[in-house]
Amino acid sequence: MRGTGRIIKGVGGFYYAANGKGDICTLKAQGKLRRGQQKPLVGDWIEFEPGKGKEDGWILKLLPRKNALIRPPVANLDALVITLSASSPQADLLLCDRLIVFARKNEIKPIIAINKMDECPDHPNAIVNDYAHTEVKVFSVSAKTGEGLDALKNALRGMTFAFAGQSGVGKSSLINALYGETQETGDISEKISRGKNTTRYCRLIPLESGGAALDTPGFSLLELELMEPEKLADYYPEFSTRGKTCRFSPCLHVSEPDCAVKEKLRNGEISHGRYDRYVMLLNELKERWNRRYD
């Protein structure tokens, strides 16, 4: 009998889907999906035919996606929790800005969580001020003491989300502090053991409170997706100039005269730190754009 479910893990050509009743089904992708170059991803909603007895079932159809990412290979992500540290390691705000642009470009809600508040409670003020006009919610939390976790948990309720950020900021500790130990069930472990290898994989953890957490070996984002440099400012909501216009269109908001964004910067409506990092990312994009055919 056909059913619908969501892929929570994929290893070695096998996919494991939760059907909403607590059952985990082991599936393979039908040939027509492979021929159509439709690769199932963790997070995909699917129609499937469950297997009979010890036989594996089949993925029949991928349902429409909200988004699909290449690295990590996941689909239908609602929110990205960009995790920073109040102590060590020092917050990499350039990486944070890259991730914010990445999230907005893929219709994912960016959220900032500043962890380890118990180690340096006064440090986050500068970070909070830096993002005051960005429409990104900032949560000051501690996985160790529980500070701020209820507010963060409420903000994520019902969403499919992932934690991203530098190594050592406490992403795994935050997931465990929010939702308890997230070890895979024995049922899934037993099924996956037949194809187990040293490669780590993404998995989706359905949560009792609604939504799901993505556990991934790393949300690596070393550079932005290539785009026309003048498009970068579209992902900085504080650069919005409603009622005002720049003299030139398009405007990169760097050296052009009569630039409305530069006026907002002078008036304190845009963080100087955010603006300086914008220029760094813009120069990086310009260089890559100019050699895109090399």
Asked whether residue 69 is assigned to any structural domain, the reply reads: no
Give the pLDDT band (50/70/90) at residue 125. Answer: confident
Question: Which among 12, 27, 62 is the end of a domain?
Answer: 62
What are the structure tokens assigned to 58, written together? 């089949």
Section 81-88 average pLDDT: 92
182 pLDDT more than 70 = no
Q: Domain containing 23: what range?
A: 3-62
Task: Please answer whether residues 143 and 170 qualify as being in contact, where contact means their C-beta atoms are separated by less than 8 angstroms.
Answer: yes
| CB contact set of 203 (below 8 Å; sequence gap of 6+) | 8, 9, 42, 184, 214, 215, 216
Q: What's the total number of domains in the chain?
A: 3
User: Within this chain, do residues 211 and 236 fall inside the same structural domain, yes or no?
Assistant: no
Asked whether residue 224 is assigned to any structural domain, the reply reads: no
94 pLDDT more than 90 = yes
Give the Cα separation of 139 and 178 in Å (integer): 13
Looking at residue 273, which CATH number applies to its domain? 1.10.40.50
Section 102-128 average pLDDT: 88
195 pLDDT more than 50 = no
Question: Which among 215, 243, 262 is the end of a domain?
Answer: 215
Asked whether residue 223 is assigned to any structural domain, the reply reads: no
Q: Choose between 54 and 153: higher pLDDT.
A: 153
Report the mean per-residue pLDDT for the chain. 86
Q: pLDDT tens digits, residue range 279-291?
A: 999 999 999 999 9
Q: pLDDT tens digits, residue range 206-218?
A: 888 778 998 776 5
Asked whether residue 68 is assigned to any structural domain, the reply reads: no
Section 25-43 average pLDDT: 86
18 pLDDT more than 70 = yes
Give the pLDDT band (50/70/90) at residue 187. Answer: very low
Q: pLDDT tens digits, residue range 144-178?
A: 999 999 999 999 999 999 998 888 898 888 988 99
Task: Please answer whether residues 28 and 13 qualify as being in contact, where contact means their C-beta atoms are separated by less than 8 angstroms.
Answer: yes
3-state secondary structure at position 22: coil
User: Within this chain, do residues 109 and 48 fall inside the same structural domain, yes or no?
Assistant: no
238 closest CA partner among 215, 260, 220, 213:
260
User: Within this chain, do residues 161 and 275 fall inside the same structural domain, yes or no?
Assistant: no
Give how far Cα 99 sits from Cα of 42, 84, 191, Å.
20, 12, 34
Helix and strand numbers, DSSP H then E, in the chain? 8, 11
What are the structure tokens assigned to 1, written together? 């009998």
198 pLDDT more than 60 = no
At 244 the pLDDT is 80
Give the pLDDT band (50/70/90) at residue 22. Answer: confident
CA 96 to chain centre: 11
The string of DSSP letters for 143-165 reads: TTT-TTHHHHHHHHTT-EEEEEE
CA 81 to chain centre: 7
User: Within this chain, do residues 202 and 115 fall inside the same structural domain, yes or no?
Assistant: yes
Asked whether residue 222 is assigned to any structural domain, the reply reads: no
35 pLDDT more than 80 = no
pTM assigned to the model = 0.86
Asked whether residue 109 is assigned to any structural domain, the reply reads: yes
Angle, in degrees to the nearest 10, between helices 149-156 and 171-179: 80
